[in-house]
């Protein structure tokens, strides 16, 4: 069965450029999450979608970060005017229902972003 | 704000012995706790969970203990195997979010 997929797997970009990261959740999963893991750091929560709406955007590090989800499925995380500190592995996860229900999340392989 | 803390960045144990990974949290509104295991270059995978109404959940070699009054949970792996070597993340979920700890790198030596 298909798991969570993310693209691209690796992205190298120049400082100041915009990047778009894509996540395809498991079919039927209503909740979708974005995290990032910087070198030597734990998982940092970025944003969570329940369906197409994002009840919690508090984790987005700055207004350069935005995310959307359409059709209750695919999500894109956009980083504008990338900075070197944005370099990290960006992980997407999905679950059957939201965090309130305590459903475990299934993670994608991540997108490794390097800003030069 | 670090609402979930794993204070030990690494742990090394001998094969066959018990591994104990610890996690502390600060938010009393968390009501579900999960452990994830992560191998290099892969996304985390779910390992075991526990609801706040319980104090213990066991699944094979893995047992999670929850002490609500101390806001502390632990993951016990016994007996530890070399294949258990990975980074273990503790996670806590509440009404609308899930927070992860920084992870503990477990190394099981043969």
Which ranges of chain A have pLDDT less than 50? none
Given an 8 Å threshold on Cβ–Cβ distance, is A42 in contact with B101? yes
The pairing of beta strand B86-93 with beta strand B98-100 = antiparallel
Distance CA A44, CA A59 (A): 8
Nearest by Cα to A107 from B27, B89, B11: B89
In sequence order, what DSSP letters do the residues of chain A get, joined into one string?
----EEE-SEEEE-TT--EEEEEEPPTT--EEEEEEE-TT--EEEEEEEETTEEEE-TT--STTEEEEE-TTS-EEEEESS--GGG-EEEEEEEESS-GGGTPPPEE---EEEEE-
* B39: its two tokens: 């191998």
Whole-number pLDDT of residue B73: 96
Give the mutation candidate from A43, A101, A103 for the B interface (greatest B CB count, under 10 A): A43
Q: Does B1 touch chain A (CB under 8 A)?
A: no
Q: Write the pLDDT tens digit of every residue in B49-73.
A: 999 999 999 999 999 999 999 999 9
Q: Does B93 touch chain A (CB under 8 A)?
A: yes
Nearest CA of chain B to the CA of A99: how many Å? Answer: 6
Whole-number pLDDT of residue A2: 79
Given an 8 Å threshold on Cβ–Cβ distance, is A58 in contact with B97? yes
Whole-number pLDDT of residue B2: 75
Given an 8 Å threshold on Cβ–Cβ distance, is A104 in contact with B46? yes
């Amino acid at each position: 069965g298909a798991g969570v997929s993310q693209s691209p797997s690796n992205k190298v970009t120049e400082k100041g450029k915009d990047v778009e990261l894509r996540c395809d959740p498991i079919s039927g999963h209503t909740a979708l999450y974005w995290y990032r893991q910087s070198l030597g750091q734990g998982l940092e929560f970025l944003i969570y979608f329940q369906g197409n709406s994002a009840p919690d955007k508090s984790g987005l590090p700055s207004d350069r970060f935005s995310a959307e989800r359409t059709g209750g499925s695919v999500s894109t995380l956009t980083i504008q005017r990338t900075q070197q500190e944005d370099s990290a592995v960006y992980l997407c996860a999905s679950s059957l229902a939201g965090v309130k229900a305590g459903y475990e999340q299934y993670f994608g392989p991540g997108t490794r972003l390097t800003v030069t | 704000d670090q609402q979930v803390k794993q204070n030990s960045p690494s742990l090394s144990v001998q094969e066959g012995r018990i591994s104990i990974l610890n996690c502390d949290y600060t938010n009393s509104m968390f009501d579900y706790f999960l452990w994830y295991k992560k191998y290099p270059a892969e996304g985390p995978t779910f390992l075991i969970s526990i609801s706040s109404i319980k104090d213990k959940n066991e699944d094979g070699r893995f047992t999670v203990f929850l002490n609500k009054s101390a806001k502390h949970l632990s993951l016990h792996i016994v007996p530890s195997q070399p294949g258990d070597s990975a980074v273990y993340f503790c996670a806590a979920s509440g009404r609308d979010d899930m927070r992860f700890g920084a992870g503990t790198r477990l190394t099981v030596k043969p």
